[in-house]
Structure formats: structure tokens, C-alpha cells
A and B are shown apart, each in its own frame.
Chain A
């Protein structure tokens, strides 16, 4: 009876697909990719309301990529540009006050030969750090002393 045999074969074919496709008690896992970025930073802060001729407390802090050897340099500029060299700051290892130039326009800060307050090299393990300095200042004209911390 070929018809019966065909029925058996058909039933078997019906069975095959669902048995293979049966899901287990759990779904297929799905993935969520997470990325969080911590940016390098360097900053300089002054006590609020800092004015006058007394030594200015300056705090410099940095957190940079430890695989990139760098140094931190704190430089000073005097605003407005017309008043450049009317202010003096002691730094860069000098024992006397050094004239402060104008903030450069259109060129990189370091290329303009700024008045360097300090440069601190970073050895291994110093990618994160801070330091505090008292910065002696004298000015003949009213103006603003800009302090910029740079890593390189």
C-alpha cells in the first residue's frame, strides 16, 4: 500500500522541522556594547578673588594618559596686549621678577616664547598629579594675568 507509506513519510517530514527548530528554555543572548571615555585634563586654579601684589597661590592639576610621556608647563601672559611687559612674575627658576608678554594671537602658545612659570617632567607613574606654587607678581598697570597650563 504505497499510499500508507507515503503518509508515514509525510508525517516524518512534518516532524523533522519543528524538532530541529525548538527553542530551549532561554532566548538567544543579545549584547549591549558599553564605552565610557575619560578625557585627559590639565587645569590651573587660583583662589577666588585673587588680586594685588602679594604672592598668588596657584594650584595646577593634571590627569593625562600614562602611555604618553609628557611634561606640564605653566605659562603666564598679561592682558590687555597693550599693557604687555607692564607686569612681572617670578618663575622659570629665576630669582627676580621677569616681564610677562602679551598673550599670542594666531600662534601656538609655546611657539610665542611665553614667560614660563615652571615645567615639570612626568616620570612613569606621574600621569596624575598636582602641585601648588606661590607666584610673586608685580604690575605697573591694571590688567589681567593669564595663567595657562600645557602638557606636551
Chain B
């Protein structure tokens, strides 16, 4: 991993032409010069870390009610990007199979019943995880864009921390059997 920004900076924009020359030991013979062109691009860095709340649980579900997960998912997003090549950083939450966001026994709870909120991001109120992909990341009908951060020269190397609050909306949903309902929500950042 190119974790040292200065390393990438040193390489940034380096366009070199190196010419090989014949070895000294080959006295009396002169090989034809070979041209090797090197073009380097700065490595992009884009990462997501869940600093807390990676395991969310509701101990006792109530039918026909909105059930809140008790603590938020705290997400650290970091990047080191070239603003000439990257306009925005987006963070997306999605379920791989939207119709089966949570499953228990034969019962499937769709992603439209799982609501997310990021008060420092885009869904500032609880919003169903039923949007489309962003920048090719996410699933149709099972995604939620959590933030979209414009990239410029002043924040091309930066981090941000956001809290994702989650709810399970069972209002109008058929009465659940006593079960453990489990699922996995994926978080991924993507540049545009």
C-alpha cells in the first residue's frame, strides 16, 4: 500500500526517458541505443474504516413499529486523490440482495424496510435503503448514498468521520415469527 503520501508525490508527474548504453566491458563493440519511456501516475488512496458499530443488534423487535438500532455505525473515510482526475468521493451503503436485507427462517425483510440517516451527509433524515448504485457501486433498489464530497486542491488529502444511524421499519409489515433476523450492510467509497 502506498501509505506514504510523499512517496507518491515524488513519483507524481515523473516522465522519464532512460537510455541504456553499452556496457564498458564490451570494448570495441557498440550496441544500438534502446529507448525506454516511463510514465508514472500518482497512486490514489481511498479507504473506509468502521471505527465502531460494525455489529448492530436489536434485542427485542416490536411488530408494526419502527425499531431503532441502538448505536450508530461510525465510519472513517480517508483519501489521497488527484483533484485533476477526481471530482467527488461518494460513500454508499448497500445490500447485496435488496429483497433479502434481513432473513430469519422463511421470512425476508427487504432493504426498503431498513432506513439510514447521516446527519453530516446526504440522508439527514431516515431514508429507505432503496436507491440505485453510485459510480457503479451498490445494487439497484438496495443502496443509499451517504455523502458526496467534492474534491479540490485543499482537500485532496483528507479524512472525514460520519455516523450512520439505522432503523428497521415494520409498520404495516406482516407479524414476524420469533426468530433472529440477520443481514449484512456493505459500505464502500467510490470516486467520480
Chain B: number of interface residues, binned into ranges: 35 or more
Chain B neighbourhood of A105, CB < 8 A: none
Please report whether the interface of chain A is mostly helix, strand, loop or mixed according to DSSP.
mixed
A33: Cβ under 8 A from any B Cβ: yes
Counting CB contacts under 8 A, is A41 at the interface?
yes
B46 adjacent to A27 (CB under 8 Å): yes
Interface string of A34-77 (1 = CB under 8 A from B): 11111111000000000000000000000111110000000000
Q: Is B2 a contact partner of A34 (Cβ separation < 8 A)?
A: no
**How many Å from the CB of A35 to the closest CB on chain B?**
4
A11-B16, A32-B56 in contact; A18/B180 too (CB < 8 A)?
no
Number of interface residues of A (CB under 8 A): 39
Contact string against A for B residues 17-53, beta-carbon threshold 8 Å, 1 for contact and 0 otherwise: 0111111100000000000101011011111111001
**A1-B21, A26-B137 known; A31 and B177 CB under 8 Å?**
no
Q: Are A30 and B61 in contact, with the CB atoms below 8 A?
A: no
Is the pair A27, B189 in contact by a Cβ cutoff of 8 Å? yes
For residue B140, CB closer than 8 A to chain A, the reply is no
A2-10, A83-91, A140-148: which lies at the B interface? A2-10
B60 CB within 8 Å of chain A: yes
B65 CB, min distance to chain A CBs, angstroms = 12
Report the bound CA distance from A11 to B14 in whole Å.
11
CA distance A129 to B8 in the complex (A): 66
Residues of chain A whose beta carbon lies under 8 Å from any beta carbon of chain B: 1-2, 4-5, 7-8, 11, 14-15, 17-18, 21-41, 63-67, 127-128
- The 7 A-B pairs with the shortest beta carbon distances in the complex, nearest first, are A40-B178, A27-B189, A36-B58, A26-B190, A32-B185, A38-B61, A29-B188
List 14 contacting pairs A-B, 8 Å CB cutoff, sorted by A: A4-B21, A15-B40, A25-B192, A26-B46, A26-B135, A26-B136, A26-B188, A26-B191, A31-B187, A33-B182, A34-B166, A35-B56, A36-B182, A37-B59
